[in-house]
A and B are shown apart, each in its own frame.
Chain A
Amino acid sequence: MWKIYLDTFKNCNMCFPPQVEQVKLLDRFSNKSVIGTLHLTATHLIFVESNSTSAQEIWILHHHIASVEKLSLTTSGCPLLIQCRNFRLVHFVIPRERDCHDIYSSLLRLLRPVSYDELYAFSYNPKQNDQQREEGWQLIDLAAEFERMGVPCDQWQLTDVNREYKVCETYPRDLYVPITASKPIIVGSSKFRSKGRFPVLTYFYQEKKAAVCRCSQPLSGFSARCLEDEHMLQAISKSNHNSRYIYVMDTRPKLNALANRAAGKGYENEDNYSNIRFQFVGIENIHVMRGSLQKLLEVVGTRSLSMTDYLVGLENSGWLRHIKAIMDAAIFLAKAVTVEGASVLVHCSDGWDRTAQVCALGSLLMDPYYRTIKGFMVLIEKDWISFGHKFADRCDQLDPDPKEVSPIFTQFLECVWQLTEQFPQAFEFSEWFLIQIHEHVHSCQFGNFLGNSQRQREVLQLKERTYSLWAHLLSEKQNYLNPVYSPSFAESHPVLEPSTQACHFKFWRNMYHQYDRSMHPRQSILKQVLTFKESNRELEGTVQALKTKLQKFGVSTSPLKPQTPPRDRSLPLRPQSLILGAPLLSRKEVQQEEDEEVFGEEAREDAPASTDGERTVEGSSATENGYGELTGSFGSKNEPAVVTLEFGVARMTC
């Protein structure tokens, strides 16, 4: 398959070695290594293992590469360390330094595209015609989404004030505001808000007529005020008859908000706004989050990590603390809306990072629709893409400013994952879906996440020139289904009330170690139950077919028992989380991943002949795990077998 890509590469005028042989790929955590050939194409770096029997291939999209590092020369060659945004880390050793340098400099050039046109999405062609592509883009319709929420209604209307992106260029064209908010109020308010991001509706809780609105910080400085902005908030408040006040959630720590005042920004003064309840919730800024993830990855990337270093490192990184802060804020939001029936206005500084996290997660807690596959796509499309989360900057797509990069969206996905762990039946999708979305946010293979705002996407003509990720994901929906999902759970739990005790937050191993196979459970419950579910579907078909045949013989058959669990039985206690299992890798890699399975020799001998591929104990081997301490040898050269030791992994040599 890589040959196809090599052809594309030939058309491209760059001077790097198209392939380098005898390259060693070192395993990150054990001391295993494989020899293979490295190919460089216009879009991918490909490693093909030489061993013909198990020939694994690793495809790394250039866009996924976060950094390339040339380490100092060793006796076996020149090491090249490649770190990817999807948390893959590969360590090559290239025999000749010149080759290494060539690859290194070629990669540096390739992974710094200077214009959007160079992104993979503009050359990616999944063999679809224009009509299919268009249909893909039409899958998600935000106007229909607001209609689903019950908007426009007697209190909320669509405004055309931003039709030409004149009031706010980072907002979408279609915005929903209170009926009583006139254009002058909107325009006035927008002038009093950072980047013109005035308060607009993002979610409407029909049951209580309570609204979730979002905006950016007010330009209040130490004493400035703006009557239009005050009117705007009042209009939001008045549109909800259930509550006399609205909450204004400033998602920043108080100190940050205070500091902003010196720059002429800041937060709402409760004295100036009637009937608001102002609240700080203390989510840290993008720089803290970037640093936190970096620390986390450093810790979990350590070889032979001790439990103490792991837990101390987890604590020091602050990662789970930040995740909990976002979750706490979302729960606050959901409670205010669903319990008190109050409307809430959420903002941070610019209103596109923390605000997006809290609004999206809060809506997901309140509305079961967002916990379905389609609904989750809508949610991302609405609160992240259309409202201008700066994907291009945060995910480092183009012309990178390292200070703009931050794992804000990753944190949102992780919060959702933490929820799936607490409510295994609430979500139509499994964690594979979340991981796959994460993969493509960084892959630049589809148009959805390119650029920083809706306006920019229109200029780039993404809908005409690229494909939509959602269509692609829906086409392989069966891979992302949660087998124990229960639609009736949504009826009994329309609002999720997760526990936010610290001990209920876990490290998301399947995300941050998605390519480190030795870390994962060797058998996946998720995969197994999905297989059963699939088999049930097939068997139901078979039963029907057989019955039809039997009827031809004039035999009447009893109808199939309906598939409802016998609820009257008392529930047995539940053994552990159901969401286990190695993540699904991108399509290309599924096959090679299977080839990659390394069975211990003995394990293979012992494997019963009937074992089917899906259900064997995957890749479990003693040497992979390095239990340590078999150091030294007997010291006798006459021994037929001598135990030699390499980083704690015992090997027999003769």
Chain B
Amino acid sequence: MEFAELIKTPRVDGVVLHRPFMPTVEGTLCLTGHHLILSSRQDNTEELWLLHANIDSIEKRFVGSLGTIIVKCKDLRVIQLDIPGMEECLNIASSIEALSTLDSVSLMYPFFYRPLFEVIEDGWQLFVPEEAFKDLESMTDEWRLSEVNKDFSVCPSYPSLLTVPKDIDDESLCKAASFRHGGRFPVLSYYHKKNGMVMMRAAQPLTGTNGRRCKEDEKLINATLCAGKRGYIIDTRTIAVAQQAKARGGGFEQEANYPQWRRIHKAIERSNVLQESLIKLVESCNDQSHSMDRWLSKLEASNWQSNVKEILTTACLAAQCIDREGASVLVHGTEGTDSTLQVTSLAQIILDPSCRTIRGFEALIEREWLQAGHPFQQRCAQSAYSNGKPRSEAPVFLLFLDCVWQILRQFPCSFQFNENFLIMLFEHTYASQFSTFLGNSVAERVKLLLSQKTVSLWSWVNRPQELERFLNPLYEPNNLVIWPSVAPQSLQLWEGVFLRWNRSTKCLDEAYQEMVHIIEYNKELQNKVNSLRRQLAQLETEDSPLQTP
């Protein structure tokens, strides 16, 4: 297919662009295969380059022959284009609609994007499971790397290499896989160096209504317990939801069959509920006419903050079991690809200081989200402005980022990255020139030959000139477990994302810049003092023999 077929009118002059808190720009609108571009031919005026993939939905309005297109983006921005001429406007609108809803992955921009920078460190090679396993091996010899899923046949959503207990052979893994939803048998998620406790993740067991059991599954998870120790199973669903799952062949671990495990049910919402929550939240954030009462009641009704609190609480609970109770933990929900990953990844941020560095956080996303088979492409197909029928869209990863931001706010000196880093990740999960978040699993990404044909987000982000704006100037590494407060008074609406386009951030940006400056100046002064001291010491030693012959 040629993009040209979809572009009915490639350019229109005299288009006026309105953006919140920015001056209007008049210029020429151009449509290309992947971008909507508005350029005023004046110097010094910013151009608008918008990826079609970033467009969530559009609205058309006409006043006489002047058409207006409201473009609502997946990064939650809303812009307005005034287009003279009804026909041009209609053409542009239908072209944008077609181009922003292309179904085929291989037509996505990452397959056409050629980086303007030299790839020094290939992001595709950065976080390979073998490397992570080497680290684990240096701490314990209880685990092995299994190739049982090398052709993705045992579990299509798992990567080819999986860390499993040493004593469990591949055959048992296959049997355990057949007992778990989607073949997602329990695998290692995190090893807590301090006490050797582990966190595993899986999908729900397929007990069904007649209480099926699977010896291999029991053996597999029991193998992770030390002699005489017990563990916790954290089911991210309420007991009622877990019970209902039985009717559809799913279920939960029966006490009788897993006597060494204690099950705890939490109530993290399922993905379709989360999507609705996001839509409601964004709607209320964008309505500037709300009275205080209406705003608070809308915010409450969206349930977004409740979701943040619930996810964070569950993650803290998992971390508490591991660090404080000295117990191993198995986390699962239904499919094990959404709430499970929110919990396991957040628990690691709480427990493991290395996850709070930039590299460590990237590795965590790679390990616990990309390789663990979070279906990014499905979940991020549409964002808060989608007016079509929701399929499997859900802001699961955005909620994870929101929770990280909450922890970052409470421990502002414990993270190597700043809020911008999290916002950047949010943007790239929904629309990007990089392909890191394309596809729904490792298997799909391998099939698409992403690592050969496209550029990884990490190849770009990790360049020093890009990293600079993601570094937290207040960062001071510490090796502590950081326990966030989950009281509602301690959790805040993530303004950087949800109110980002509804306010002028100039004053806040300048204040941040001033803070950065104070800290940089401190470093500069320290260097100056050191060099002066050295200079002085040198002079004094040179002088002293003369003075004291």
Known A543-B525, A602-B481; judge A622-B323 contact (CB<8 A).
yes
Known A300-B489, A625-B486; judge A307-B518 contact (CB<8 A).
no
Pick the contact of A528 from B296, B297, B305, B413 — CB < 8 Å?
B413
A575 to B480, CA, bound (A): 23
**Nearest chain-A residue to B317 (Cβ)?**
A627
Q: How many residues of chain B are within 8 Å of chain A by beta carbon?
A: 102
Does the CB pair A307–B488 fall under 8 Å?
Answer: yes
Of the candidate stretches A109-117, A218-226, A502-510, the one touching chain B is A502-510
Pick the contact of A503 from B320, B409, B502 — CB < 8 Å?
B502
- List chain A residues, Cβ under 8 A from B103: none
Main secondary structure, interface of A, reads loop
Pick the contact of B488 from A305, A493, A524 — CB < 8 Å?
A305
Interface 0/1 of B142-183, CB less than 8 Å to A: 000000000000000000000000000000000000000000
Check: B521 CB closer than 8 A to any chain A CB: yes
Does the CB pair A622–B420 fall under 8 Å?
Answer: no
A641 to B492, CA, bound (A): 37
Of the candidate stretches B93-101, B129-137, B530-538, the one touching chain A is B530-538
- List chain B residues, Cβ under 8 A from A623: 324
Check: B321 CB closer than 8 A to any chain A CB: yes
- List chain B residues, Cβ under 8 A from A533: 518
- List chain A residues, Cβ under 8 A from B485: 518-520, 625
Known A546-B536, A577-B508, A615-B413; judge A560-B528 contact (CB<8 A).
yes
CB of B139, distance to nearest CB on chain A (Å): 16
Does the CB pair B513–A519 fall under 8 Å?
Answer: no
Pick the contact of B474 from A513, A528, A607 — CB < 8 Å?
A528
Pick the contact of A513 from B296, B489, B496 — CB < 8 Å?
B489
Check: A476 CB closer than 8 A to any chain B CB: no
CB of A283, distance to nearest CB on chain B (Å): 13
Per the 8 Å Cβ criterion, residues 456-507 of B in contact with A are 468-469, 472, 474, 476, 478-493, 495-496, 499, 502-505, 507
Pick the contact of A529 from B266, B518, B536 — CB < 8 Å?
B518
Known A608-B479, A627-B316; judge A549-B508 contact (CB<8 A).
no
Known A307-B309, A630-B264; judge A483-B291 contact (CB<8 A).
no
Does the CB pair B532–A550 fall under 8 Å?
Answer: yes
Does the CB pair A546–B474 fall under 8 Å?
Answer: no
CB of A509, distance to nearest CB on chain B (Å): 5
Check: A624 CB closer than 8 A to any chain B CB: yes
Per the 8 Å Cβ criterion, residues 283-310 of B in contact with A are 284-285, 288, 290-297, 299-300, 303, 305-306, 308-309
Check: A320 CB closer than 8 A to any chain B CB: yes
Known A310-B489, A529-B515; judge A423-B507 contact (CB<8 A).
yes
Known A536-B522, A571-B509, A573-B423; judge A308-B295 contact (CB<8 A).
no
Check: B514 CB closer than 8 A to any chain A CB: yes
Check: A259 CB closer than 8 A to any chain B CB: no
- List chain B residues, Cβ under 8 A from A401: none
Check: B412 CB closer than 8 A to any chain A CB: yes
CB of A369, distance to nearest CB on chain B (Å): 19
Does the CB pair B524–A627 fall under 8 Å?
Answer: no
CB of B170, distance to nearest CB on chain A (Å): 32
Check: B517 CB closer than 8 A to any chain A CB: yes
- List chain B residues, Cβ under 8 A from A546: 529, 532-533, 536
- List chain A residues, Cβ under 8 A from B305: 307, 311
Does the CB pair B532–A506 fall under 8 Å?
Answer: no
CB of A387, distance to nearest CB on chain B (Å): 28
- List chain A residues, Cβ under 8 A from B314: 627
Pick the contact of A574 from B478, B508, B535 — CB < 8 Å?
B508
Check: B410 CB closer than 8 A to any chain A CB: yes
Per the 8 Å Cβ criterion, residues 457-508 of A in contact with B are 483-484, 486, 489, 493, 499, 501-507
- List chain B residues, Cβ under 8 A from A577: 508
Known A307-B305, A307-B491; judge A640-B228 contact (CB<8 A).
yes
Pick the contact of B511 from A425, A540, A632 — CB < 8 Å?
A425
Interface 0/1 of A517-530, CB less than 8 Å to B: 01111111100110
CB of B358, distance to nearest CB on chain A (Å): 14
- List chain B residues, Cβ under 8 A from A553: 536, 539, 543
Per the 8 Å Cβ criterion, residues 180-222 of B in contact with A are 194
Check: B275 CB closer than 8 A to any chain A CB: no
A307 to B277, CA, bound (A): 14
CB of A286, distance to nearest CB on chain B (Å): 20
A602 to B319, CA, bound (A): 13
Does the CB pair B309–A574 fall under 8 Å?
Answer: no
Does the CB pair B535–A607 fall under 8 Å?
Answer: no
Known A483-B518, A543-B532, A621-B483; judge A630-B320 contact (CB<8 A).
yes
CB of B346, distance to nearest CB on chain A (Å): 12
Check: A29 CB closer than 8 A to any chain B CB: yes
- List chain A residues, Cβ under 8 A from B522: 532, 535-536, 539
Does the CB pair A502–B474 fall under 8 Å?
Answer: no
Check: B313 CB closer than 8 A to any chain A CB: yes
A104 to B488, CA, bound (A): 33
**Nearest chain-B residue to A632 (Cβ)?**
B262
Check: A260 CB closer than 8 A to any chain B CB: no
- List chain A residues, Cβ under 8 A from B48: none
- List chain B residues, Cβ under 8 A from A308: 300, 303, 306
- List chain A residues, Cβ under 8 A from B284: 503
Does the CB pair B496–A576 fall under 8 Å?
Answer: yes
Does the CB pair B490–A501 fall under 8 Å?
Answer: no
**Nearest chain-A residue to B262 (Cβ)?**
A634
Check: A603 CB closer than 8 A to any chain B CB: yes
CB of B289, distance to nearest CB on chain A (Å): 9
- List chain B residues, Cβ under 8 A from A76: none
Does the CB pair B482–A306 fall under 8 Å?
Answer: no
CB of B539, distance to nearest CB on chain A (Å): 5
Task: Give the one of B293, B409, B489 with max A CB within 10 A.
Answer: B489
Does the CB pair B306–A307 fall under 8 Å?
Answer: yes
Does the CB pair B499–A627 fall under 8 Å?
Answer: no
Interface 0/1 of A541-565, CB less than 8 Å to B: 0110011011001010100110101
Does the CB pair A634–B317 fall under 8 Å?
Answer: no
Per the 8 Å Cβ criterion, residues 601-653 of A in contact with B are 602-603, 606-608, 611, 615-617, 620-625, 627-630, 632, 634, 639-641, 643, 650, 652
- List chain B residues, Cβ under 8 A from A629: 264-266, 317
Check: A314 CB closer than 8 A to any chain B CB: yes
Per the 8 Å Cβ criterion, residues 319-350 of A in contact with B are 320-321, 324
A576 to B313, CA, bound (A): 22
Check: B519 CB closer than 8 A to any chain A CB: yes
Does the CB pair A575–B296 fall under 8 Å?
Answer: no
Check: A312 CB closer than 8 A to any chain B CB: yes
- List chain A residues, Cβ under 8 A from B529: 539, 542-543, 546
**Nearest chain-A residue to B327 (Cβ)?**
A643
- Contacts A423-B507, A629-B265 aside, 10 further interface pairs with beta carbons under 8 A come to A311-B297, A311-B488, A519-B489, A529-B519, A543-B528, A543-B529, A546-B529, A565-B513, A576-B409, A625-B484
Which 9 pairs across A and B sit closest by C-beta, in order of nearness?
A575-B419, A502-B295, A574-B512, A424-B511, A310-B488, A311-B300, A315-B296, A539-B525, A321-B292
- Chain A interface residues toward B at CB < 8 A: 29, 300, 305-312, 314-315, 318, 320-321, 324, 422-426, 483-484, 486, 489, 493, 499, 501-507, 509, 513, 518-525, 528-529, 532-533, 535-536, 539-540, 542-543, 546-547, 549-550, 553, 555, 557, 560-561, 563, 565-566, 571-578, 580, 600, 602-603, 606-608, 611, 615-617, 620-625, 627-630, 632, 634, 639-641, 643, 650, 652
- Chain B interface residues toward A at CB < 8 A: 194, 228, 230, 262, 264-266, 284-285, 288, 290-297, 299-300, 303, 305-306, 308-309, 313-314, 316-317, 319-321, 323-326, 405, 408-414, 418-420, 423, 468-469, 472, 474, 476, 478-493, 495-496, 499, 502-505, 507-519, 521-522, 524-526, 528-529, 532-533, 535-536, 539, 543
14 sampled A-B residue pairs with Cβ under 8 A: A318-B292, A507-B489, A513-B489, A519-B489, A523-B411, A524-B412, A532-B518, A575-B419, A575-B512, A607-B479, A617-B411, A622-B320, A628-B317, A639-B230
